[in-house]
Protein backbone atom coordinates (compact mmCIF):
# COMPACT_ATOMS: atom_id res chain seq x y z
CA UNK A 1 0.00 0.00 0.00
CA UNK A 2 1.11 3.59 -0.62
CA UNK A 3 -0.19 6.95 0.56
CA UNK A 4 -1.01 9.26 -2.35
CA UNK A 5 -2.45 12.19 -0.40
CA UNK A 6 -5.22 13.27 1.95
CA UNK A 7 -8.85 12.97 0.91
CA UNK A 8 -11.11 16.04 1.00
CA UNK A 9 -12.78 14.28 3.93
CA UNK A 10 -9.51 14.39 5.85
CA UNK A 11 -8.74 10.69 5.74
CA UNK A 12 -5.46 9.37 4.39
CA UNK A 13 -5.74 8.20 0.79
CA UNK A 14 -3.83 4.92 0.70
CA UNK A 15 -4.10 2.55 -2.27
CA UNK A 16 -2.43 -0.56 -3.64
CA UNK A 17 1.22 -0.06 -4.63
CA UNK A 18 0.64 -1.92 -7.92
CA UNK A 19 -1.71 0.85 -9.03
CA UNK A 20 0.69 3.58 -7.93
CA UNK A 21 3.54 1.97 -9.90
CA UNK A 22 1.49 1.28 -13.04
CA UNK A 23 2.30 3.14 -16.25
CA UNK A 24 -1.37 3.24 -17.20
CA UNK A 25 -4.43 2.81 -14.98
CA UNK A 26 -7.64 1.64 -16.71
CA UNK A 27 -10.78 0.34 -15.01
CA UNK A 28 -13.83 -1.59 -16.16
CA UNK A 29 -17.11 -2.30 -14.46
CA UNK A 30 -20.82 -1.63 -14.59
CA UNK A 31 -23.01 1.26 -13.52
CA UNK A 32 -26.03 0.71 -11.28
CA UNK A 33 -27.80 2.80 -8.65
CA UNK A 34 -25.89 2.96 -5.36
CA UNK A 35 -27.65 3.78 -2.14
CA UNK A 36 -25.09 6.24 -0.78
CA UNK A 37 -22.47 6.80 -3.53
CA UNK A 38 -25.21 7.73 -6.03
CA UNK A 39 -24.06 5.28 -8.69
CA UNK A 40 -21.52 2.48 -8.91
CA UNK A 41 -18.78 2.40 -11.55
CA UNK A 42 -15.79 4.50 -12.57
CA UNK A 43 -14.11 6.08 -9.52
CA UNK A 44 -15.26 3.25 -7.24
CA UNK A 45 -12.67 1.01 -8.91
CA UNK A 46 -10.08 3.00 -6.94
CA UNK A 47 -11.99 3.90 -3.78
CA UNK A 48 -13.03 1.48 -2.38
CA UNK A 49 -11.74 -0.91 -5.09
CA UNK A 50 -8.00 -0.87 -4.38
CA UNK A 51 -7.96 1.34 -1.27
CA UNK A 52 -6.73 0.48 2.20
CA UNK A 53 -9.33 -0.41 4.81
CA UNK A 54 -8.73 2.78 6.83
CA UNK A 55 -9.28 4.89 3.71
CA UNK A 56 -12.59 3.18 2.99
CA UNK A 57 -13.74 3.60 6.59
CA UNK A 58 -12.95 7.33 6.54
CA UNK A 59 -14.92 7.72 3.30
CA UNK A 60 -17.89 5.83 4.80
CA UNK A 61 -18.00 7.95 7.99
CA UNK A 62 -21.27 8.68 9.79
CA UNK A 63 -21.16 12.38 8.87
CA UNK A 64 -21.09 11.59 5.16
CA UNK A 65 -23.67 8.79 5.34
CA UNK A 66 -26.03 11.25 7.08
CA UNK A 67 -25.52 13.90 4.38
CA UNK A 68 -28.75 14.55 2.40
CA UNK A 69 -26.88 14.20 -0.91
CA UNK A 70 -25.49 10.75 -0.03
CA UNK A 71 -28.42 9.03 -1.66
CA UNK A 72 -29.32 6.88 -4.64
CA UNK A 73 -28.93 8.68 -7.96
CA UNK A 74 -27.20 11.79 -6.55
CA UNK A 75 -23.64 12.76 -7.49
CA UNK A 76 -23.62 16.55 -7.23
CA UNK A 77 -22.84 17.60 -3.66
CA UNK A 78 -22.37 14.00 -2.55
CA UNK A 79 -19.32 14.02 -0.21
CA UNK A 80 -18.75 10.27 -0.58
CA UNK A 81 -18.66 10.59 -4.37
CA UNK A 82 -16.39 13.64 -4.17
CA UNK A 83 -13.86 11.72 -2.05
CA UNK A 84 -13.93 8.86 -4.56
CA UNK A 85 -13.38 11.15 -7.55
CA UNK A 86 -10.45 12.83 -5.82
CA UNK A 87 -8.85 9.47 -5.05
CA UNK A 88 -9.30 8.25 -8.63
CA UNK A 89 -7.77 11.43 -10.08
CA UNK A 90 -4.87 11.23 -7.63
CA UNK A 91 -4.33 7.59 -8.63
CA UNK A 92 -4.22 8.73 -12.27
CA UNK A 93 -7.18 6.67 -13.43
CA UNK A 94 -6.80 7.50 -17.11
CA UNK A 95 -9.59 5.62 -18.84
CA UNK A 96 -12.75 3.66 -18.00
CA UNK A 97 -14.97 1.17 -19.78
CA UNK A 98 -18.31 0.80 -18.00
CA UNK A 99 -21.54 -0.86 -19.06
CA UNK A 100 -25.17 -0.71 -17.98
CA UNK A 101 -26.79 -4.13 -17.65
CA UNK A 102 -30.42 -5.24 -17.71
CA UNK A 103 -32.26 -7.72 -15.48
CA UNK A 104 -30.77 -10.60 -17.52
CA UNK A 105 -27.26 -9.27 -16.78
CA UNK A 106 -26.85 -8.35 -20.45
CA UNK A 107 -24.93 -5.21 -21.41
CA UNK A 108 -27.35 -2.75 -23.03
CA UNK A 109 -25.20 0.40 -23.04
CA UNK A 110 -21.48 1.11 -22.85
CA UNK A 111 -19.34 4.15 -22.14
CA UNK A 112 -15.60 4.63 -22.47
CA UNK A 113 -13.21 7.48 -21.89
CA UNK A 114 -12.67 10.05 -19.13
CA UNK A 115 -13.58 8.74 -15.68
CA UNK A 116 -16.03 11.58 -15.01
CA UNK A 117 -17.41 12.45 -18.45
CA UNK A 118 -17.95 8.86 -19.59
CA UNK A 119 -19.35 7.90 -16.19
CA UNK A 120 -21.84 10.77 -16.32
CA UNK A 121 -23.03 9.62 -19.75
CA UNK A 122 -23.64 6.15 -18.34
CA UNK A 123 -25.40 7.53 -15.27
CA UNK A 124 -27.62 9.74 -17.44
CA UNK A 125 -28.62 6.76 -19.58
CA UNK A 126 -29.39 4.63 -16.52
CA UNK A 127 -31.41 7.45 -14.96
CA UNK A 128 -33.55 7.66 -18.10
CA UNK A 129 -34.57 4.04 -17.53
CA UNK A 130 -35.06 3.69 -13.80
CA UNK A 131 -35.49 7.11 -12.19
CA UNK A 132 -39.06 7.56 -10.91
CA UNK A 133 -40.86 10.10 -8.76
CA UNK A 134 -42.03 8.94 -5.35
CA UNK A 135 -45.67 7.90 -4.99
CA UNK A 136 -46.27 8.46 -1.25
CA UNK A 137 -48.15 5.58 0.33
CA UNK A 138 -49.00 4.11 3.72
CA UNK A 139 -47.38 0.83 2.68
CA UNK A 140 -44.37 0.44 0.39
CA UNK A 141 -43.42 -3.01 -0.89
CA UNK A 142 -39.88 -3.67 -2.14
CA UNK A 143 -37.49 -6.50 -3.00
CA UNK A 144 -33.76 -6.90 -3.50
CA UNK A 145 -34.17 -8.08 -7.07
CA UNK A 146 -33.69 -11.78 -6.36
CA UNK A 147 -30.43 -13.74 -6.36
CA UNK A 148 -27.67 -12.91 -5.55
CA UNK A 149 -28.53 -9.71 -3.64
CA UNK A 150 -31.38 -11.25 -1.66
CA UNK A 151 -29.12 -13.74 0.13
CA UNK A 152 -28.97 -11.89 3.45
CA UNK A 153 -30.49 -9.10 5.50
CA UNK A 154 -27.37 -6.91 5.25
CA UNK A 155 -27.76 -6.61 1.48
CA UNK A 156 -31.54 -6.19 1.76
CA UNK A 157 -31.06 -2.76 3.32
CA UNK A 158 -30.33 -1.53 -0.22
CA UNK A 159 -33.78 -2.50 -1.47
CA UNK A 160 -35.37 -0.96 1.61
CA UNK A 161 -33.97 2.47 0.70
CA UNK A 162 -36.17 2.55 -2.42
CA UNK A 163 -39.24 1.94 -0.25
CA UNK A 164 -37.96 4.55 2.23
CA UNK A 165 -38.15 7.11 -0.55
CA UNK A 166 -41.89 6.62 -1.11
CA UNK A 167 -43.40 5.39 2.18
CA UNK A 168 -45.14 7.97 4.35
CA UNK A 169 -43.67 8.85 7.74
CA UNK A 170 -45.03 6.36 10.24
CA UNK A 171 -45.98 3.93 7.47
CA UNK A 172 -44.91 0.36 6.82
CA UNK A 173 -42.29 -1.11 4.50
CA UNK A 174 -42.79 -4.71 3.42
CA UNK A 175 -39.45 -6.13 2.29
CA UNK A 176 -39.09 -9.43 0.44
CA UNK A 177 -35.64 -11.05 0.44
CA UNK A 178 -34.98 -14.79 0.74
CA UNK A 179 -32.07 -14.25 3.19
CA UNK A 180 -31.11 -17.93 3.23
CA UNK A 181 -27.64 -16.86 4.41
CA UNK A 182 -29.08 -15.11 7.47
CA UNK A 183 -28.03 -11.67 8.62
CA UNK A 184 -24.95 -11.33 6.40
CA UNK A 185 -22.47 -9.82 8.83
CA UNK A 186 -21.56 -10.23 12.49
CA UNK A 187 -20.74 -6.55 12.93
CA UNK A 188 -24.00 -5.44 11.36
CA UNK A 189 -26.02 -7.96 13.36
CA UNK A 190 -24.57 -7.06 16.76
CA UNK A 191 -24.72 -3.32 16.12
CA UNK A 192 -28.47 -3.73 15.66
CA UNK A 193 -29.32 -6.65 17.95
CA UNK A 194 -27.28 -5.85 21.05
CA UNK A 195 -28.94 -2.48 21.74
CA UNK A 196 -32.76 -2.27 21.97
CA UNK A 197 -32.72 1.52 21.50
CA UNK A 198 -31.74 2.35 17.92
CA UNK A 199 -31.50 6.04 18.82
CA UNK A 200 -28.62 5.24 21.20
CA UNK A 201 -26.85 3.29 18.46
CA UNK A 202 -27.25 6.16 16.00
CA UNK A 203 -25.97 8.68 18.57
CA UNK A 204 -22.89 6.49 19.09
CA UNK A 205 -22.18 6.43 15.36
CA UNK A 206 -22.63 10.19 15.02
CA UNK A 207 -20.21 10.79 17.90
CA UNK A 208 -17.42 9.07 15.98
CA UNK A 209 -15.06 11.15 13.88
CA UNK A 210 -14.24 10.42 10.26
CA UNK A 211 -11.29 8.26 11.19
CA UNK A 212 -13.17 6.34 13.91
CA UNK A 213 -15.65 4.55 11.65
CA UNK A 214 -16.03 0.82 12.31
CA UNK A 215 -16.90 -1.85 9.75
CA UNK A 216 -20.56 -2.14 8.74
CA UNK A 217 -21.46 1.04 10.64
CA UNK A 218 -22.70 2.69 7.44
CA UNK A 219 -25.14 -0.13 6.69
CA UNK A 220 -26.50 -0.08 10.22
CA UNK A 221 -26.81 3.71 10.12
CA UNK A 222 -28.87 3.62 6.93
CA UNK A 223 -31.01 0.80 8.33
CA UNK A 224 -31.71 2.86 11.46
CA UNK A 225 -32.68 5.83 9.27
CA UNK A 226 -35.23 3.61 7.52
CA UNK A 227 -36.61 2.32 10.83
CA UNK A 228 -36.96 5.89 12.08
CA UNK A 229 -39.36 6.56 9.21
CA UNK A 230 -41.34 3.32 8.99
CA UNK A 231 -41.92 -0.10 10.51
CA UNK A 232 -40.42 -2.93 8.47
CA UNK A 233 -42.14 -6.28 7.90
CA UNK A 234 -39.62 -8.77 6.54
CA UNK A 235 -40.65 -11.72 4.34
CA UNK A 236 -37.79 -14.21 4.18
CA UNK A 237 -36.41 -17.64 5.09
CA UNK A 238 -34.36 -16.11 7.92
CA UNK A 239 -35.23 -17.28 11.47
CA UNK A 240 -38.01 -15.22 13.05
CA UNK A 241 -35.93 -14.50 16.14
CA UNK A 242 -33.15 -13.09 13.98
CA UNK A 243 -35.59 -10.80 12.16
CA UNK A 244 -37.04 -9.59 15.48
CA UNK A 245 -33.53 -9.02 16.89
CA UNK A 246 -32.94 -6.67 13.96
CA UNK A 247 -35.98 -4.59 14.94
CA UNK A 248 -38.25 -5.94 12.21
CA UNK A 249 -41.47 -7.97 12.11
CA UNK A 250 -41.16 -11.41 10.48
CA UNK A 251 -43.65 -12.69 7.91
CA UNK A 252 -43.72 -15.63 5.50
CA UNK A 253 -46.11 -14.50 2.77
CA UNK A 254 -47.25 -11.26 1.20
CA UNK A 255 -50.83 -11.84 2.40
CA UNK A 256 -49.63 -12.25 5.99
CA UNK A 257 -47.44 -9.15 5.70
CA UNK A 258 -50.26 -7.03 4.28
CA UNK A 259 -52.58 -8.01 7.12
CA UNK A 260 -49.88 -7.08 9.65
CA UNK A 261 -49.27 -3.77 7.87
CA UNK A 262 -52.96 -2.87 7.86
CA UNK A 263 -53.13 -3.59 11.59
CA UNK A 264 -50.13 -1.36 12.24
CA UNK A 265 -51.64 1.46 10.21
CA UNK A 266 -55.14 0.86 11.56
CA UNK A 267 -56.88 0.74 8.21
CA UNK A 268 -57.87 -1.86 5.64
CA UNK A 269 -57.85 0.85 2.97
CA UNK A 270 -54.18 1.78 3.23
CA UNK A 271 -52.52 3.08 0.07
CA UNK A 272 -49.79 0.86 -1.39
CA UNK A 273 -46.80 1.50 -3.64
CA UNK A 274 -45.04 -1.59 -5.03
CA UNK A 275 -41.43 -1.57 -6.23
CA UNK A 276 -40.62 -4.86 -8.01
CA UNK A 277 -36.82 -4.36 -7.76
CA UNK A 278 -35.69 -1.93 -5.08
CA UNK A 279 -32.01 -2.20 -6.04
CA UNK A 280 -32.56 -1.11 -9.64
CA UNK A 281 -35.10 1.67 -9.14
CA UNK A 282 -34.15 5.19 -8.09
CA UNK A 283 -37.04 6.76 -6.19
CA UNK A 284 -36.74 10.53 -6.08
CA UNK A 285 -38.59 12.25 -3.25
74 pLDDT exceeds 90? Answer: yes
* pTM beyond cutoff 0.85: yes
Q: Which fold has domain 134-284?
A: 2-enoyl-CoA Hydratase; Chain A, domain 1 (3.90.226)
What sign has the CA pseudo-torsion 58, 63, 65, 71? negative
Share of the chain above pLDDT 90, in %: 94
The pLDDT score that the predictor gives to residue 103 is 85
pLDDT class for 284, splitting at 50, 70, 90?
A: confident
Cβ contact 218:65 at 8 Å:
yes
DSSP count for the chain of H helices, then E strands: 11, 14
Burial per residue of 149-181, b for 16 or more beta-carbon CB atoms within 10 angstroms, e otherwise: bbbbbbbbbbbbbbbbbbbbeebbbbbbbbbee
Domain boundaries along the sequence of the chain? 2-131, 134-284
Share of the chain above pLDDT 70, in %: 100
What is the mean pLDDT of the segment spanning 4-17?
Answer: 94
What is the mean pLDDT of the segment spanning 69-78?
Answer: 96
For the stretch 239-263, pLDDT in tens is: 999 999 999 999 999 999 999 999 9
Cβ contact 143:117 at 8 Å:
no
Range 2-131 classified under CATH 3.30.390.30: no
Alpha helices in 113-183 (DSSP H): 117-130, 153-164
Amino acid sequence: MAKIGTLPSGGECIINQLVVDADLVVSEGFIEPHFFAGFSGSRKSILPGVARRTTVLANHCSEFIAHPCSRTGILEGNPIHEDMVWAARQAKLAFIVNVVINEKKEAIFAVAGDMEQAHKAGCDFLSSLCRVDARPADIAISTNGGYPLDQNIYQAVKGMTAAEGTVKKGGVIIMLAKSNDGHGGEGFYHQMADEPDIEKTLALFMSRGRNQTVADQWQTQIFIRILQKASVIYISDAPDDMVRALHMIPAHSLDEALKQAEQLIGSENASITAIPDGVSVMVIE
